[in-house]
Amino acid sequence: MSSAADDALPARLSQTADAIEALLDGLLQAVPGAGEIARPERLLAAMRHGALGGGKRLRPFLTVETALLFGASEAQALRAGAAVELLHCYSLVHDDLPSMDDDDLRRGRPTVHRAFDEATAILAGDALQTLAFEVLADPATHESGAVRAALVLCLARASGLGGMVGGQMFDLAAEGRFDPGSNALAENEIRRLQAMKTGALLAASVEIGARLGGADEAALAALGQYGRAVGATFQVADDVLDVEASQEQMGKATAKDQDKGKATLISALGLAGAKRERDRLCEEAVAALSGFGEEAAMLRAAAWFAATRQN
């Protein structure tokens, strides 16, 4: 990664995060939108609690940077990024539920089911998810219905049965939820779980930006390799942080993967081995961008950020 990109990345991340925050705030106002009847106050407050006020916003950053790489307008790129972030926030709200990870903290604040109640948290997650697809399907995101349909299809595939939700089911099964006597997952099974639960949405963040900008098939293939490698890098880095970082540093509970018997590459490779794999995956992501020149410097920097972040 060049020093210039390294130096510029924090400001660029912050700038995009602020723009996404402002857009999400506008989408989550009390006034009903076109075709809506009313917005329940408690539900809207829970959605705002789950979506606003924190997070790295790495997924929308990847969407925006990739879209701009291909000449998409910033306004449309931000809308696509906001849709990805809404989907991600829904997943966090549901992941924190008592029936899932049963977490009390997220981004340094009480989780949605703690700040409100479990039923409201479920509905808030449902509403954030559907809003994500509404934003992508809106003509304001792209004038072409075919492009909007491609964006919706990409996000749906990444987040559903064969992607994030399916990965969550594999994760629950790996904890012994359904068969307490089940054996630990093999390394290839852990990689599959993580590619679905975490990697699929990160890879889709890149693909959505590329499709919004009209990337050709060769570019989509290279960026697909990049997105999958970044997703895997991010997850292994997260596993390492769960072992090494503090709760204050992360803004959520740590040291819980081993306590819950979660399947991670640390359990398969050891801590040192997982760190080596994290770095290898990061290098793979950077190499996938070799054909894009200096215009992709921020995407390369984002890969290194995914590997070296401290929270």
Both tokens assigned to 171: 């994760």
Q: Cβ–Cβ contacts within 10 Å for residue 10, how many?
A: 11
Integer CA distances (angstroms), 82 to 22, 93, 135, 227, 238, in order: 10, 16, 8, 18, 23
Cα within 13 Å of Cα(101), Cβ side: 23
Closest CA to 112 of 126, 127, 101, 124: 124
CA 106 to each of CA 36, 64, 96, 255: distance values in angstroms, whole numbers, following the listed order: 30, 24, 8, 15
In angstroms, the CA 14 to CA 3 distance is: 18
Q: Report yes or no: 201 and 159 within 8 Å, Cβ to Cβ.
A: yes
Give the architecture (CATH level 2) of 3-308. Answer: Orthogonal Bundle (1.10)
Residue ranges per structural domain of the chain:
3-308
**Exposed (0-12), middle (13-18) or buried (19+): which is 198, by Cβ within 10 Å?**
buried
pLDDT in tens, 219-269: 999 999 999 999 999 999 999 999 886 666 545 555 565 556 678 999 899
| Tokens coding 207 | 């693909």
Give pLDDT, residue 180.
78
Q: Tokens 């000449």 identify what position?
A: 71
Distance, in Å, from the CA atom of 146 to the CA atom of 64, rounded to the nearest integer, reads 20
Residue 1: per-residue pLDDT: 42
Q: How far apart are CA 135 and CA 148, in angstroms?
A: 10
Instruction: Give counts: helices (H), strands (E), the chain.
Output: 14, 2
Exposure b/e, 82-91, CB count within 10 A at least 16 = b:
bbbbbbbbbb
Name 106's bridge partners.
Answer: 109
Residue 261's pLDDT is what? 63
pLDDT of residue 35: 93
Q: Which of 112, 1, 96, 103 is nearest to 50 (CA)?
A: 112
Q: Mean pLDDT per segment of 10 residues, for the chain of length 311 residues?
A: 73 96 98 96 98 92 98 98 98 97 92 98 98 98 98 98 97 88 85 97 98 97 98 95 73 58 86 96 97 94 93 79
CA distance 171 to 157: 18
- Report DSSP letters for 165-212, one per residue: HHHHHHHHHHTTSS-TTPPPPPHHHHHHHHIIIIIHHHHHHHHHHHHH
With a CB cutoff of 8 Å and minimum separation 6, the contacts of 36 are none
Instruction: Please state the pTM of the whole predicted model.
Output: 0.93
pLDDT at residue 54, rounded to an integer: 78
